[in-house]
Amino acid sequence: MGSNSKKVIMSLRKELPLMGIVLLPVCYLAYVWNDLPNKVPLHWNMNGEVDNYGDKSQLVFISILLPLFVYGIFLIIPKIDPKNKLNNMGNKLNAIKILLTTFISAIVIFIIYAASHASYNINFIVLLIGILYIVCGNYFKTIKANYFIGIRTPWTLESDEVWKSTHRLGGIMWFIGGFAIVISSSILSIQTNFKLLTIITIIIVLTPIIYSYYKFRSIQKQASSS
């Protein structure tokens, strides 16, 4: 067996667990398919009430396309990364790929479950998003400068120092914000949780972006004065 064949087999073995995660929503949908009515709830309002129904065949597209789309992105972007920074991340990139693929598959499974039970708990979705923020916050400081993953602003991409300090700040904010969301999802009402999630998301997204600009300006001023 040639070296290329061995690499293909090793790569396939590495991807098998992720392929299983991608297929989980499809397997779950197949399991509950006969118990689903022809018309299933597809959208709920902030109060957890159904406000839109559709044919159950639409769940097939959701269960296949969403996890596959996220998984496919992570297969493609390392190959088109012009500076090859993503490939240099090694296991860290794979861990992020597993995290996001698992998150999307979990969301899809919950959508199918909610459709089969005609009930939808927004607080559970809020909880999942909070956990995602916590885990992403832990990984932020390990992400190397690249064009696809992380806080990509003109200033972080221009300076490694700005990239590192911005992601250090972003990691702390995402972790704290995610922790607050997880706690609130178990004690606050659906409406309050949705508002809090929106506010926290805006803060943890915009603050590092603004910080990267001022950090870059600060470095420029220091360089020009020296």
Domain extent listing, the chain:
1-120, 122-226
Q: What's residue 9's pLDDT? A: 63
Task: Say if residue 113 is exposed, middle or buried (CB neighbours under 10 Å; 0-12, 13-18, 19+).
Answer: middle
The model's pLDDT over 30-67, given as tens digits with 9 standing for 90+, comes to 999 988 888 887 776 666 667 777 888 888 888 888 89
Dihedral sign for Cα atoms in the order 91, 85, 178, 106 = negative
Q: What's residue 166's pLDDT? A: 97
Q: Is 226 helix (H, G, I), strand (E, B) or coil?
A: coil
d(CA 159, CA 169): 15
Identify the weakest region by mean pLDDT among 3-12, 102-111, 120-129, 164-173.
Answer: 3-12
Residue 15, phi then psi, degrees to nearest 5: -85, -15
Q: What is the pTM of this model?
A: 0.81
